Amino acid sequence: MADHLENLDPISSYAALGDSFTEGLNDPNPDGSFAGWADRLAGMLAQGRPEGTFRYANLAVRGRLLDQVVAEQVPQVRLARPDLVTFCAGGNDILRPGSDPDEVAERFEQAVLQLRECTRTVLICTGFDTKNVPVLRHLRGKIATYNVHLRAIADRNDCAVADLWSLRALQGRPAWSEDRLHLSSEGHQRVALLAARALGLPTLDDPAAPWPAESVHTPAEQRRENLQWARDYLIPWVGRRLRGESSGDHVEAKRPELLPL
C-alpha cells in the first residue's frame, strides 16, 4: 500500500460513505444522535485547523446494500469532490444467503474507480473477523474471501486500508454494543484510531491496546446470554430480512452536505 502521509496535509474536506457501520450506530451523542468512527476521524483531521476550514459530510445510512450506496451516495461525492472519501460497503450483501463475495467485490471495485476520479484519497475497510459471534461465525469464510478482494482492489487503485479483520481489540466484548452487530462507543474509537493511522495521522492512543480484564462466564452463563441475545436481536434482524425490510427504511443521511465541522 502506498504511503498516504504525504496526502494528509492538504485534506480539508472529507465524505464518509456506507451503511450503519459508518453512520455510527450505537455510539450515542448527548443529543441522542449517533457519532461513530467516521465522525471521530473527522474530528481528528480537523484538529489544529482554523475554525470553519475543515468540511465534513457523512452520507452513510443503516441497512444499505452496496448498490444502494453506489446509487445514492457516490454521485453526491462526485459532485462535491472532497479531498478524502472513506468507502466501507458490501458487508450487508455478504451477510445475505447466496451472495457471492467475488461478484460483490467486482461491483465494489467499479465504485472505487468512480471515486478515484473525483477525490485525492480513498480509504476502505476490511470486514470484521466474526469467529466469536454466534451464527455469524459461519460466514467467516465468505468475509475472509471478500477481504482478500478488498486488499487487492486497494493495491490496484492506491487506496488506504483500515484492516478491521486484523485488529484483535475488535474481538473483545467491550468493542461491541449489546446487539453484537454494531460497535460500542469504545469500538468506534478504536476504528477511528486505526483509520487515522492508515492515513498516516499520528495518534497518541493505540487502536490495538488490550481491554481491561473481563469477567469469565461459565459455559452455562454464556449459553443463557447467547439465547437472550438471539431473542432480543438476532431473530428480529433475521425477520426483517425475510420480510424484505431494512432498518434504514425512511432514514436519511445525518450529514448529507460538506459543511464546516
Model pLDDT for residues 133-146, shown as the tens digit of each residue: 877 889 999 999 99
Instruction: State yes or no: pLDDT of 6 exceeds 70.
Output: no
pLDDT of residue 2: 46
Alpha-carbon gap, residue 65 to 33, rounded angstroms: 22
Query: Is the model's pLDDT at 250 over the cut of 60?
Result: yes
Neighbouring C-beta atoms of residue 110, cutoff 10 Å: 12
How far apart (Å, rounded) are the C-alpha atoms in residues 201 and 93?
31
Q: State residue 85 phi and psi, 5-degree precision.
A: -130, 130
How much of the chain, in percent, has pLDDT values that exceed 90? 70
C-alpha cell at 205: 492512543
pLDDT reading at 3 higher than 60: no
pTM over 0.85: yes
Spatial distance between the Cα atoms of 87 and 15, rounded to a whole number of angstroms: 9
* pLDDT reported for residue 1: 42
Statement: residue 60 has pLDDT above 90: yes
Collapse the DSSP code of 142 into the 3-class scheme (helix H, G, I; strand E, B; otherwise coil) and give the result. helix
Q: How far is CA 180 from the centre of its chain?
A: 15
- In which order are the strands placed within the sheet that holds 84-88? 160-162, 121-125, 84-88, 13-18, 55-58, 255-260
pLDDT band for 117, please (50, 70, 90 cuts): very high
pLDDT value of position 221: 65
DSSP-derived 3-state class of residue 86: strand
Count CB-CB contacts under 10 A for residue 184: 16
Residue 208 has pLDDT above 80, yes or no: yes
What's the CA gap between 226 and 131, in Å, rounded? 14
State mean pLDDT over 51-64.
Answer: 95
Locate 94 and state its grid cell.
Answer: 455478504
Pick the residue with more confidence: 234 or 251? 251
- Please give the pLDDT value at position 228: 73
Q: What is the DSSP string of 159-183?
A: -EEE-STT-GGGGSGGGB-TTSSSB
What's the CA gap between 191 and 142, in Å, rounded?
Answer: 22
Domain 5-260: give its CATH architecture.
3-Layer(aba) Sandwich (3.40)
Helix or strand or coil: residue 259?
strand
Q: What is the pLDDT of residue 237?
A: 66
